[in-house]
């Protein structure tokens, strides 16, 4: 990843208006900052959230609160608790997220 033309700055995520993204169950609230080709997001999943699609986008994802369950299309699954992260390349392994009691994540893609 080449990061260029991004001046130093800070982000108060609470000041960014969230956009709502419904899942198959529940919803995700995204707060987004775009830095050229790089997108940074603070994402909150409602309790019981299940993604409505298999995602092929690459991410670096850090779990901040709650517990996130990530299922890969090949059947493997992983649980992230606060302080844990995952990374996956674009078009590498389709994945989708769910949780039982809500989760808050920081994602760069």
Per-residue pLDDT, averaged over 70-75, amounts to 96
Residue 2: is its pLDDT beyond 80?
no
| 14 C-beta neighbours (distance < 10 Å), count | 8
Residue 17: is its pLDDT beyond 80?
yes
Listed residue (99, 108, 61) closest to 79, CA to CA? 99
Give the per-residue pLDDT at 85.
Answer: 98
Fold of the 18-104 domain: Jelly Rolls (2.60.120)
β-strand partners of 23: none
Residue 36: is its pLDDT beyond 70?
yes
Query: Rounded to two decimals, what is the model's pTM?
Result: 0.92
- 73 vs 77: CA distance, rounded Å: 9
């Amino acid at each position: 990843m080449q990061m260029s033309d991004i001046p130093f700055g800070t982000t108060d995520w609470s000041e960014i208006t969230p956009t709502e993204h419904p899942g198959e169950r529940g919803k995700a609230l995204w707060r987004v900052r775009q830095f050229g080709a790089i997108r940074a997001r603070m994402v909150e999943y409602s309790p019981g959230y299940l993604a409505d699609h298999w995602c092929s986008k690459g991410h670096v994802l850090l779990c901040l609160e709650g517990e996130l369950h990530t299922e890969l299309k090949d059947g493997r699954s992983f649980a992230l608790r606060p302080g844990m992260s995952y990374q996956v390349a674009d078009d590498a392994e389709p994945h989708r997220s769910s949780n039982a009691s809500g989760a808050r994540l920081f994602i760069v893609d």
